[in-house]
Structure 1
Amino acid sequence: MTTYKHLLVPVDESPMSYAAAEQALSLAKDLNCPVTIMSVIAVDPFVGVDFYKVAPAITDYFMQAEQNAQNRLAEIQQSFSREGISVDTKIIRGVAASEGIVQIANEIGADLIIMGSHGRTGVKKMMLGSVAQNVLTQSPVPVLIVKV
């Protein structure tokens, strides 16, 4: 069995992210390994819009997204710290979620990514894409998908 030495847990506001964080906490305790928890603040919602017409809305969106990500990461970080797990947090900005996750995994030398999946299928998956699917295909390290 492979012994993992550094876990990466990408999170957003979804319940699936929190379920993935719980799985990562359990695994990190068993393996006594450090964890990096991360969020991506992507530009996706604004691709193709006229910047000058919506600049205040974009600024507000990014400021709120940044604050939400910081709060979420701090909350999850506390739960890991309470259990004696070494934990770091990262926020990456301005890239697609899957690209940011793979980038951070490479940067920190993660050897396992644990993430939630919305479990979309069919047309919903086709129209909305799947961050988990993209990470699975792009990641050079194993990916554990947690579904609720």
Structure 2
Amino acid sequence: MFKHLLVPTDGSTLSEAAMHMAVGLAKQDRARITGLYMIRPFHMTVYSAEMVGSNQDEFQAVDQERAQLYLETIRNIAVQAGVECDTDAPTGTHPYEAILETAKKRNCDLIVMASHGHGGIRGMLLGSETQKVLTHSHLPILVVRPPV
């Protein structure tokens, strides 16, 4: 049914669950997957606590290492299942844009991603990347939610 699945990750346990689900689907359909982690540019506006006290080179080096670690996880899961996997780590400001651009560039036909379930006011304030992908994508999206 699907031939090429895109699996974005943020390194969370829930993202890893989405990886396992995507690899299972890919194995079943004899499809391939692309793992994605977006490397964030360094800004004077702080995105996270790890940026405080960092300079641009330090921050980028840490985020590059994080990308390698997270993408290696998906490669390992895919290899163990016998599923073809490649990865991408573009730099961008908005993860949802990186997800949609990569899906288009790589000719993916399904996006499998986690949603941490931040609904209501918290979701509005934090902004849900999953919600933005759902809103702007023309591809089918399989959303992996936390267990209830």
CA distance in structure 1 between the aligned counterparts of 2:89 and 2:29, rounded to whole angstroms? 25
SS at match of 1:92: coil
Say yes or no: does 1:25 pair with 2:14: no
**Which residue of 2 is the match for residue 143 of structure 1?**
141
In the TM superposition, structure 1's runs of 4+ consecutive aligned residues that sit over 2 Å from their partners are 45-49, 54-59
Residues 89-108 of structure 1 aligned to structure 2 (within 5 Å): 89-108=87-106
CA distance in structure 2 between the aligned counterparts of 1:106 and 1:96, rounded to whole angstroms? 16
Give the drift of 1:81: 1.1
Could you tell me which of 66, 71, 74 is aligned with 2:72?
74
**Could you say which structure has the higher helix fraction?**
1
Give the drift of 1:29: 1.0
| % same residue | 35
Give the drift of 1:48: 4.0
Q: CA RMSD in A?
A: 1.8
- Provide TM-score, normalisation by structure 1: 0.88
Residues 52-91 of structure 1 aligned to structure 2 (within 5 Å): 57-91=55-89
Gaps of 5+ in 2: 47-51
What is the one-letter code of the residue matched to 1:80? Answer: A
Gaps of 5+ in 1: none
SS at match of 2:61: helix
**Partners of 2:3 and 2:31 within 8 A in 1:** yes
- Provide TM-score, normalisation by structure 2: 0.88
